Amino acid sequence: MNQTLEAKLTKIMLAKQTKADPSHDFNHVLRVLELAKAIGKEEKADFDILIPAALFHDIIVYKKDHPKSQNETVESASYAKKILKQIKGYPENKIDQVMTCIKECSFSKGLKPDLLESKILQDADRLEATGAISIMRTFSSGGQMNRPFYEASDPFCKKESVAFRSGLDLFYRRLLVVEKRMYTRLAKKIAKRRTIFLKKFLAELKIELRESKVI
């Protein structure tokens, strides 16, 4: 994809992307884009598909406890299709593949892609769900839903069944399991490093909670 077209699509994303949710704002999208490009370069991906898919993968965002949140990827894919059809020079025969990438870019749905670009987008987006950035995003989302930082009776999810009672619960449902769900070599390498950091964070948190007589 040429730089002029990428810049045009980026400008559209920046104008449309939510500013009400720091976990899914334009900074998140730009980070995913750069991760996708780095992985895509190594995997020899089609950037005509990968770049617009990364730019528009979260263009429609609802609060995680909103009834429509499960429709985000479908609505985002439809929005991307509408935009790309209006872009002069964009290959129309690749629009369906862009839509596929966006529709499959959902951790909670657990979809397993066949398309290379979809695997790369999943990896890039899931890298945002582990490491230092994931901690900020997790507690930002939890705050929007008025969820506490941790469940005092079971902060480190020792019980067999882990519900999303608190921000810390999400570590055990998502942040710590992302590493095992990567497809590409580079993403696996990055995820491994970020997961090590998460475990160090949890170790320090456990010490601090003991000092505060929480556990």
pLDDT in tens, 99-138: 999 999 988 788 899 999 999 999 999 999 999 999 999 9
Q: Boundaries of CATH 1.20.58.1910 in the chain?
A: 129-215
Contact yes or no for 23/105 (Cβ under 8 A): no
| Cα–Cα distance for residue pair 139/137, rounded to 1 Å | 6
Work out the angle at residue 94's Cα, subtended by the Cα atoms of residues 92 and 99, and round it to the nearest 5 degrees.
110
Homologous superfamily (CATH) for 1-110: HD-domain/PDEase-like (1.10.472.50)
Say if pTM beats, i.e. exceeds, 0.85: yes
- Count of CB atoms situated within 10 Å of the CB of 185: 12
DSSP assignment, residue 129?
T
Max CA pair span of the chain: 63
Contact yes or no for 5/90 (Cβ under 8 A): yes
129-215: CATH topology is Methane Monooxygenase Hydroxylase; Chain G, domain 1 (1.20.58)
| Cα–Cα distance for residue pair 140/43, rounded to 1 Å | 32
Residue type, 80: A
Answer left, alpha or beta for residue 148, where phi above 0 means left and psi between -120 and 50 means alpha. beta
Q: Boundaries of CATH 1.10.472.50 in the chain?
A: 1-110
pLDDT per residue as tens digits for the range 5-64: 999 999 999 999 999 999 999 999 999 999 999 999 999 999 999 999 999 999 999 877
Compute, in degrees rounded to 10, the torsion defined by CA atoms 109, 6, 128, 63: -60
